[in-house]
Amino acid sequence: MKRITLAVVVALVSLTSFAQQPAASSEPQAKPVMIVNGDVITDRQLDQMYASIPQQTRDQYEKSGGKKAFLDNYLRKRLVVQEALKHGFDKRADVQADMDAAKEAALFQAYVREVISQQVVPEADVKKYYEDNKANFVTPEEINVRHIIIMANGTGPHPKSKQEAAEQIHRIWEQLREATGKIADPQVRAHAIVTEFAEAAKKYSEDGSASDGGVIGWMARGALDQKFEDVAFSLEPGTVSPVVETRFGYHIIYVEGKRPAATRSYEDVRREIRDLLQSQHMGDIMQAVTKLSNELKGDSKIAAFPENVH
């Protein structure tokens, strides 16, 4: 489900808000996941940043490396932030004004979402929606897959006949078997298979995944060629397929992991549901915001100077 944010709140770029926080967490059990020129990014900070991105964006990351892919993207942003700090951008009046506005908007958004909106959309309504719509929160079976492809019939970067393509893919399969087949220790063998497969993909594979070691990523049924999927979903994690022929050419498939179909937990989807229900009651929420602001205005000491407004 796509997360829907409150329309009355100024949208914030997650990088901006996190760039203003100390890079290291003071919590004793926090563990570093990356150190960038002395700035420590902890597992707790990573979890918080990852949880704050919209579900639709998070789903895309899950298909291409999950938190590790997100962390790599954040690293690039963090490096630019460090460069901006190095050049004194944080001292500029216009940047400080933007940072103050972002902080104020974040506080406003959090209070409206966590306090005011709760009066309009109570927790009981969120739980009822979850129970009534559990089918919407079912995630299909997925596999984390790599492949090596040799294209046939004169296609691909190195045109060749179907027979030549078949001979080449079988040679690659034999090389993989010889490199890993005699390793007795299961853990050592599993590591060797991944390493050898990735190297072979980089060297021989003929599609865009080659440079990344053949990584396709997490996929559900229906996203790939049916012949490819039938074999891939039948494999146990950590195993290599025999040669598979599809309309695209000849493949060797390696499945790194498998996730069974499951229903996402209430805690996992609670914020998505709440945001959806709040968006459906935006008029009521705005009335509650207006009512509160009028009450606060009546109880506050306010001095206005309209003559200074130009």
Q: State pLDDT tens for residues 200-218.
A: 999 999 999 999 999 999 9
pLDDT on residue 167: 96
Q: What does the alpha-carbon distance between residue 1 and residue 7 come to, in Å, rounded to a whole number? A: 17
Chain-wide mean pLDDT for the chain? 88
What would the mean pLDDT of 21-38 be, rounded to a whole number? 71
Q: Determine the distance from the C-alpha atom of residue 208 to the mean position of all C-alpha atoms in its chain, rounded to a whole number.
A: 21
The answer for residues whose C-beta is within 8 angstroms of residue 33's C-beta and 6 or more apart is: 41, 42, 43, 46, 71
The answer for residues whose C-beta is within 8 angstroms of residue 128's C-beta and 6 or more apart is: none
CATH number of 141-260: 3.10.50.40
Quickly state the pLDDT bin for 8 (edges 50, 70, 90): very low
* Cβ-contact 199, 147 below 8 angstroms: no
pLDDT on residue 52: 85
- Would you kindly state where each structural domain of the chain is located, as residue ranges? 14-137+268-304, 141-260
From the number of C-beta atoms within 10 Å of its C-beta (0-12, 13-18, 19+), residue 27 rates as exposed
pLDDT on residue 220: 93
Which residues pair with residue 120 across a beta bridge?
none
For residue 24, pLDDT beyond 50:
no
Q: What does the alpha-carbon distance between residue 274 and residue 4 come to, in Å, rounded to a whole number? A: 9
For residue 76, pLDDT beyond 50:
yes
For residue 1, pLDDT beyond 70:
no
Quickly state the pLDDT bin for 28 (edges 50, 70, 90): low
More confident residue, 64 or 114: 114
What would the pLDDT profile of 284-310 be if each residue is shown by its tens digit? 999 999 999 999 999 999 999 999 998
Tokens of 264: 């996402």
Quickly state the pLDDT bin for 19 (edges 50, 70, 90): very low
What would the pLDDT profile of 114-164 be if each residue is shown by its tens digit? 999 999 999 999 999 999 999 999 999 999 999 999 999 888 888 999 999
Rg of the Cα atoms in the chain:
26
